[in-house]
Structure formats: C-alpha cells, structure tokens
Amino acid sequence: MNSCLDEPISELTDLFRPYMKGVGSVIDIGTGTSIPIHIFADSFPAIKFYTTDIEDQRQRKKLPFILYDGITLPFGNQKFDVSVLNETLHHCENPETVLREAHRVAKAVFVVEHFPDPGVSTEELVKGEFSTLEVLDLECSVYNPFDEDSLLSLYRKLGLEIKAKFEIPYFGNRKIKKYFFKLVGRMEEE
C-alpha cells in the first residue's frame, strides 16, 4: 500500500476545515488510489464520504465505492453536499461532462488542479505526471493538463462561479502549483 501521501495530505486537512462546515456528504469522483479522501474521512468523521471512479484502483477501501461509466454518475440531482474532483479533470477524456455531472449531483464542487510553473515545457509536465502515476501505482493513459485560463474558461462555460480559491502547498518535485476551487452554480446559494 502506497503511504507516501499520508503525511503531506494530513498536514493539509486544516486548510480545508472552513469549507467543510455544514457539509454532511461528499462524493469523491475519480478517487484513484482513494488515499486522500480516506485521510479526509478520518479528519472529518461526522461527514459521510463516498467514492467513485471508472475503474477500481483503490489502495484504501474503507469508504463505499461505486464504479461508473465516466459519463453519467448514478446519483440523483444534488444527492451530496459536495463533489470532489481531486486531480481528476486532467485525466478525463471529456472533463466538461465530468464537471457537469459533479455539479449536477452536489450543491458545491471542490476542484483541486495543478498548473505548470512558468517556463515548464509540455514534455516536462507530461513526463512528471506519468512518473508520479507510476510511483502511486496508478494506471492512466489520459493526461490533458490545464493552464489556469483553460480551466477558468471551462468553469464559465458551465455557469460555475468560484466562491473560494487558494494555492495548496505542494511537497513534490514537479514544477507545478496546485489550487483549490470551491464552485457553485451562479443561481445557487453558497
């Protein structure tokens, strides 16, 4: 079991604490190893956490898991308080569809994505991503990195408003910056 993520993620949970107030349920879409969401579930025991992905590559399996087709999430509208897309959108064939579904099934969407540092070549970014996936023992052939403009454009296209954004400390060796976004539909309440 890959535990290189435990310490850095545990150290980050306090950054997210203000955004978890009033949250009763969370669906982690594209859970991958499922390590980060399990660490969050341990830090927020009053919240019900669920996980889903297009294939089962979980390294932690305490939380409920549902396999889905990558197109339509098998949940009703606003079933959850929060959908989480943690480093997920850049691994999707169609990130617009996944983000639209994340919004449909939850009142708010929390997105964590990374952007390359200035001057980092696409080749270097891709090499770093696949090296990281190998270390995490994850199989994924899709990597379509965003820059900040393209991600913000996707949010606008889907009518999603950024209610919060902050840079997340990154402890790895890649030349990237990670960001958290709290998104809601423009006509919906926080």
Residue 154 CA to residue 44 CA, distance in Å, equals: 30
Q: What is the rounded average pLDDT of the residues 166-179? A: 87
108 belongs to a structural domain: yes
Give me the number of domains the chain comprises.
1
Which DSSP string do the residues of the chain spell out, in sequence order?
A: ---TTHHHHHHHHHHHGGGGTT--EEEEET-TT-HHHHHHHHH-TTSEEEEEESS---S--SS-EEE--SSS-SS-TT-EEEEEEES-GGG-S-HHHHHHHHHHTEEEEEEEEEEEPTT--HHHHHHHHHHHHHHTT-------PPPHHHHHHHHHHTTEEEEEEEEEP--SSSSEEEEEEEEEETTS--
- 164: tokens are 């919060």
How confident is the model over 23-78, as pLDDT tens digits? 999 999 999 888 899 999 999 999 999 999 999 999 899 999 999 999 999 999 99
**Summary mean pLDDT of the chain:** 89
1 belongs to a structural domain: no
190 belongs to a structural domain: no
Q: pTM above 0.85?
A: yes
- 13: tokens are 């949970």
Is the confidence at residue 161, as pLDDT, over 60? yes
85 belongs to a structural domain: yes
% pLDDT > 70, the chain? 92
167 belongs to a structural domain: yes
132 belongs to a structural domain: yes
31 belongs to a structural domain: yes
41 belongs to a structural domain: yes
Q: What is the CATH number of the domain that holds 96?
A: 3.40.50.150
* Domain coverage including residue 84: 6-185
